[in-house]
Amino acid sequence: MKILLGYGYYRSPVDVRYWIEGWCDRLRQTGFEVDPFYLTLNPPGPCLTWPQLDDRWRRRDPELLKKYEILGERLRDYDVFINWVGINVHPEFLPQLKTFNVFACHDDPENSENLSKPAAAAYDLCFCGNLAELDSYKSWGVRQAFHWPLGFRADDFDPELTEETILHGHRPRDLILICDYSAPWRRPKLDQLAAAFPNSRFHGHGWPAGFLPESHRILAMQRAKIGPNIHHSTGPINFRTFILPANGVLLVGDNRRHLGKLFELEKEAVGFDTIDEAIDLCRFYLAHDRERREIAAAGWKRAHRDYNEVTIFRQVVNQIEIAMKTIPG
């Protein structure tokens, strides 16, 4: 099965094209036939909103149609097209493609109106990064929708980390959180968290410490005991959900009910529903070091077993193969 994976090439402190191409390179080395293709019109930059995309399609915008011409020509040699981030492909264009077409989105529900809701039902198969939003896909007329956890990449952890180190090694920092501080909806929660745990590291846009250089990221996580995780609304969906336990950090995550579908709560991760609960839980596990270490070690095992990039992609390919067999002809 030959797969063309469409992605968004946006501006970021990390070179997104280099990151995606590295991911696909590693997948090819493990036997998958997958190649990247950026769907952004003028990279690096933002994707089109649904009104923008629909308008360009209706007026036959030359730039958009040229992109579709290039995409269609490229897909002649592939069996499957995966729109991995659900962007920039108008649903009325899809019938022109001879491939099995797969929609994926890791930005629900915040961006559902621009990405998944207008387009997902036009694809042969859909994947949703947010477990909590699978029912939304069914309400939009999607026939088949499955979960695609983001997981973590091969360059998101130190392979020399061991269970023994997690259980007995020294971690001088209480908490680590790498996220955007500037978003107003999350800032009050982050202020409470930062005030409660001064011996911690907080990085990202808007934080006094600023962005954490990529070269420091893994070491910083492996020097921290606990990693709180706070979403915009429903989840879990973000990379922190998987990268933190992959580095031996105790994951204390929100959206407790759905987190419990990814990790066994109180054994592999800890869940909360309010920021006050999160603070209480962090204090508890800082005071109960043995329990913290045991849960962190179990979470590390689970992450590396079930949420590494190869295992996740294999599950996605298996689901595509099953779905392709159900299509007549």
Query: What is the per-residue pLDDT across 239-279, written as a single tens digit (0 to 9) for each?
Result: 999 999 999 999 999 999 999 999 999 999 999 999 999 99
Residue 184 pLDDT? 85
The strand pair at 173-178 and 201-203 is best described as parallel
Burial of 43 (0-12, 13-18, 19+ CB in 10 A): middle
Residue 16 pLDDT? 95
Q: How confident is the model at residue 303 (pLDDT cuts 50, 70, 90)?
A: very high
Residue 329 has pLDDT above 80, yes or no: no
Query: What is the per-residue pLDDT across 171-224, written as a single tens digit (0 to 9) for each?
Result: 999 999 999 998 888 899 999 999 999 999 999 999 999 999 989 999 999 999
Residue 328 pLDDT? 61
- Average pLDDT over every residue of 121-126: 98
Residue 56 has pLDDT above 90, yes or no: yes
Query: How far is 234 from 31, CA to CA, in rounded Å?
Result: 34
- Using alpha carbons, select from 271, 250, 251, 252 the residue that is nearest to residue 261: 271
Q: How far is CA 267 from the centre of its chain?
A: 23
Residue 324 has pLDDT above 80, yes or no: yes
Report percent pLDDT > 90 for the chain.
95
Residue 13 pLDDT? 83
Total residue length of the chain:
329
3.40.50.450, 3.90.850.10, 3.40.50.2000, 3.20.20.140: CATH of 2-151+308-325? 3.40.50.2000
Residue 47 has pLDDT above 70, yes or no: yes
Q: How confident is the model at residue 327 (pLDDT cuts 50, 70, 90)?
A: confident
- Using alpha carbons, select from 98, 88, 103, 87 the residue that is nearest to residue 57: 88
Q: Using N-to-C axis directions, what is the helix angle for 275-287 and 187-196, rounded to 10°?
A: 20
Quote the mean pLDDT of the chain. Answer: 96
Residue 8 has pLDDT above 90, yes or no: yes
Residue 14 pLDDT? 85
Q: In what order do the strands lie in the sheet with 145-147?
A: 33-38, 2-7, 80-83, 100-105, 125-128, 145-147
Cis peptide before 149 (omega within 30 of 0): no
Report percent pLDDT > 70 for the chain.
99
- Average pLDDT over every residue of 100-125: 97
Predicted structure pTM score: 0.95
CATH architecture of 163-306: 3-Layer(aba) Sandwich (3.40)
Quick check: 142 and 104 in contact, CB under 8 A? no
Three-class SS of the chain: CEEEEEECCCCCCCCHHHHHHHHHHHHHHCCCEEEEEECCCCCCCCCCCHHHHHHHHHCCCHHHHHHHHHHHHHHHHCCEEEECCCCCCCCCCHHHCCCEEEEEECCCCCCCCCCHHHHHHHCCEEEECCHHHHHHHHHCCCCCEEECCCCECCCCCCCCCCHHHHHHCCCCEEEEEECCCCCCCCHHHHHHHHHHCCCCEEECCCCCCCCCCHHHHHHHHCCEEEEEECCCCCCCCCCHHHHHHHCCCEEEECCHHHHCCCCCECCCEEECCCHHHHHHHHHHHHHCHHHHHHHHHHHHHHHHHHCEHHHHHHHHHHHHHHHHHCCCC
- Average pLDDT over every residue of 145-159: 96
Q: Return the domain boundaries, the chain.
A: 2-151+308-325, 163-306
